[in-house]
Amino acid sequence: MNLKRPTTMFAFFLLSVTILSGFAFQDFAYAETGMSVSINADEGSTTISVSGHTSVRNNDITIMVQAPNGNIISVDQISPDANGDFMTDIQGSAQLWKQDGMYTISVKQGSSTLYDFSLSVEVTGGTTAATSVSDSTLESGFGEVSPIIGGAKDISGLTITDNSVLGSTTISISGHTDRTNNSIQIVVTAPNGNIVSVAQIMPEANGDFMVDIGVGGSQYGQSGMYTVTAQQGVGSSYKDSIDVEIIDGAIIPEFGTIAALILAVAIISIIAVSAKTRLSIMPKY
């Protein structure tokens, strides 16, 4: 019978195609470019942990620490492992971290911008603030951006919102921060630049906070835009400002949907009353 040889050849052909397809798919699926970097530090620590992943396995990675005044205080070089992963700890001290402020951690591999990152850690009194920031330029062979843990770079920091009521004599501020152990300073600045109010509050366990500021008194006698600034520490990510207009001692918040509806209803009511008044005074025949 001549069927045995064609059958055997066909089986070998299928096996070869399967093996080659597997290699081709593997190369395609795991093809990647770029790098991901994560910076982590505990509250009150003297250690900054740097970790990440790179698509280039055979080049060293340079990690540099720059003080708030621009001075370079630490330079290190590490090699990624066979999988492209890397990790190192930066040890600080009161002598190295003597300046309070934001310390920049630069992670660089080669000359391409895909492998060049700068992330910040706040240091106060020689110890770090609680920090978890990440960034990534990794792309897989499918063109999808590889996820990294947390995405904390987008959500970290401090934000505030104006909840003041139209015509009220109280500025109502609410906000959120990812630092729950540090106090927040609230400063109100008048249109002429004078500081008219300073308060200090602590956020709740979930990072939320709220404060009411009365606008009575001669310090609020000037009509115009008052700036309310909330700041926690010295980092720019933990500072936010809003403007509140005060006219004749009453608050005129920025117009949103509700304020616009209130204004529209008020205008319609005035028009309706005016029309009714005109009709009531018309002579009857």
Q: Which domains, from first to last, does the chain contain?
A: 30-155 (2.60.40.1930), 158-271 (2.60.40.1930)
> Contact at 8 Å (CB) between 122 and 237?
no
Q: Is 124 helix (H, G, I), strand (E, B) or coil?
A: strand
Residue 142, pLDDT score: 44
* pLDDT confidence of residue 180: 82
Q: What count of Cα atoms within 13 Å lies in the side-chain half-sphere of residue 205?
A: 0
- Give the pLDDT score at 101: 87
pLDDT at position 221 is: 86
Residue 202, CB half-sphere, CA atoms under 13 Å: how many?
5
User: Residue 101, exposed/middle/buried by CB under 10 A (0-12, 13-18, 19+)?
Assistant: middle
The contacts found for 135-139 with CB under 8 angstroms, 24 or more apart, are 135/36, 135/37, 136/34, 136/35, 136/36, 136/37, 137/33, 137/34, 137/35, 137/36, 137/113, 138/32, 138/33, 138/34, 138/35, 138/36, 138/53, 138/55, 139/32, 139/33, 139/34
Q: How far is CA 86 from CA 53, 82, 171, in A?
A: 6, 10, 49
CA 38 to chain centre: 14
- How does pLDDT run along the chain (285 residues), one tens digit per residue? 444 555 555 555 555 545 444 544 444 444 678 899 999 999 999 999 999 999 998 889 999 998 888 888 888 999 999 999 999 999 987 678 888 888 999 999 987 888 888 888 989 888 999 999 888 888 755 444 344 333 333 456 899 999 888 888 899 999 999 888 788 889 999 999 888 888 888 999 899 999 999 987 788 888 899 999 998 876 677 889 999 989 888 887 554 444 445 555 666 666 665 655 555 555 555
pLDDT at 27: 41
Buried b (16+ CB within 10 A) or exposed e, 195-214: ebbeeebebeeeeebebebe
Residue 251 carries which DSSP code? E
- Helices of type H across the chain: 4-30, 152-155, 257-280
Q: Which residue has the tokens 């400063």?
A: 187
Supply the pLDDT for residue 262: 56
Q: What is the pLDDT of residue 227?
A: 93
Q: How many separate helices (H) and strands (E) can be counted in the chain?
A: 3, 19
With contact defined as beta carbons under 8 Å apart, do 34 and 110 qualify? no
pTM of the complete model = 0.44
Q: Whole-angstrom Cα distance, residue 2 to residue 5?
A: 6
Give pLDDT, residue 174. 94
> Alpha-carbon distance 102 to 119, whole Å?
10
User: 3-state class of 115 per DSSP?
Assistant: helix
